[in-house]
Amino acid sequence: MDHIESKKKHWENIYDTKKLNEVSWYQPVPESSLNFINSVELAKDARIIDIGGGDSFLVDNLISLEYTNLSVLDISSNAIARAKQRLADKADEVKWIVSDVTDFKPSGTYDLWHDRAAFHFLTSSEDIKKYLNTMESAISPNGYLILGTFSDKGPTKCSGIEIKQYSIKGLKASIPDTFTFIEGKNIDHTTPSGSIQNFTFCKFKKK
Ligand SMILES: C[S@@+](CC[C@H](N)C(=O)[O-])C[C@H]1O[C@@H](n2cnc3c(N)ncnc32)[C@H](O)[C@@H]1O
């Protein structure tokens, strides 16, 4: 089994065996992401993609906020199927993409690239480079990047696999200089089991 196949198998199994509120990243209202997205003041028809969106409620909230050009990408077809089932008729308003982000070939550009807790699963310099190259070419000039990862004070693993932690300074240093850093925050997330996970959230603007 190659690298991508084994990652996919892991995530398909997670979404096959765990309920929505049994995963540590469960968040009925993804407040941090929404605050960052609202701060950008995008047009309602802005092209927005949620990378590693899984079956999170971010897309439901963005539909309620009347954004009309939404895409969700995830490596797991089970996660996407669950999100579609929950959204029922509204699922048709979203473009769903099943792909490993390191293998993603965007057909157009985006005004906002959002990622909460997917980027940090990339631990090899090769995968990180592929992600950053794709992200850089997929964001339109003056477009935004909002990234949320576990912080340097957060967990070292998520869903049983190693992650790469980022401080605000570290995340800032990892992003290509075609982007301007706008703001960074460390935010605690409380998991359904009550433990606290410290995240680094940063917002960048493409020059
Ligand atoms: C910790 S969950 C976070 C889900 C969602 N972003 C949230 O905040 O609720 C990580 C998600 O990233 C997806 N994922 C992990 N590695 C990925 C990759 N290489 N390409 C695309 N998606 C990936 C997983 O399937 C999972 O849905």
Among protein residues, the one whose CA lies closest to atom 24 of ligand 1: 52
Asked if residue 68 lies in contact with residue 93, where contact means CB atoms within 8 angstroms, the answer is yes
Q: Is 182 helix (H, G, I), strand (E, B) or coil?
A: strand
Task: Tell me the average pLDDT across 104-132.
Answer: 98
Does residue 37 surpass a pLDDT of 80? yes
Distance 65 CA to ligand 1 centre (A): 23
Distance 150 CA to ligand 1 centre (A): 13
3-20+28-206 under CATH 3.30.70.1140, yes or no:
no
The token pair that represents 142 in the structure block: 């003056």
158 lines ligand 1 (CB under 6 A): yes
For residue 3, what pLDDT band results from cuts at 50, 70 and 90? confident
- Expressed in percent and rounded to 5, the helix, strand and coil fractions of the chain are 40, 30, 30
Measured from the Cα of 100, ligand 1's closest atom is 20
Matching residue, tokens 């906002």: 112
The token pair that represents 125 in the structure block: 């310099």
Task: Tell me the average pLDDT across 157-161.
Answer: 92
199 lines ligand 1 (CB under 6 A): no
List Cα–Cα distances, 94 to 14, 49, 89, 177, in angstroms.
23, 10, 10, 31
Does residue 103 surpass a pLDDT of 90? yes
Mean pLDDT, all residues of the chain: 97
Measured from the Cα of 127, ligand 1's closest atom is 19
Among protein residues, the one whose CA lies closest to atom 9 of ligand 1: 56
Task: Tell me the average pLDDT across 55-81.
Answer: 98
Higher per-residue confidence, 159 vs 69: 69
